[in-house]
């Protein structure tokens, strides 16, 4: 008997849903996992938080949300890019 049966049950449900994805979000998770860089937990997080309800107009908006784009700083006459 496992110490955390509820977690095992949830993970089993997740595995079943990813075997035959029914929603667009589940298909997105499967797609990210096929890239090889993401496991199921990270793929779910990215699909639900980044692509689940936001609309991006360009790749810079995606990078900014992920913290991968520089941040401009402007105060008075001083303007510079703060970097990542």
Q: What is the mean pLDDT of each run of 10 residues along the chain (84 residues)?
A: 84 92 92 90 89 83 80 75 66
pTM score, whole prediction: 0.61
Residue 28 has a CB neighbour count (10 Å cut-off) of 19
Predicted confidence at residue 8, as pLDDT, reads 92
Contact between 50 and 65 (Cβ < 8 Å):
yes
pLDDT in tens, 38-56: 899 999 998 988 877 788 8
Predicted confidence at residue 26, as pLDDT, reads 92
| Angle in degrees, CA 26, 31, 36, rounded to 5 | 125
């Amino acid at each position: 008997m496992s110490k955390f049966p509820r977690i095992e049950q949830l993970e089993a449900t997740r595995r079943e849903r990813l075997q035959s994805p029914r929603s667009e979000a589940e298909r997105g998770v499967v797609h990210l996992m096929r890239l090889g860089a993401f496991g199921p937990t990270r793929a779910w997080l990215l699909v639900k938080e980044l692509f689940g309800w936001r609309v991006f107009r360009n790749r810079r908006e995606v990078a900014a949300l992920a913290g991968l784009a520089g941040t401009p700083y402007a105060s008075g006459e001083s303007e510079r890019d703060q970097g990542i």
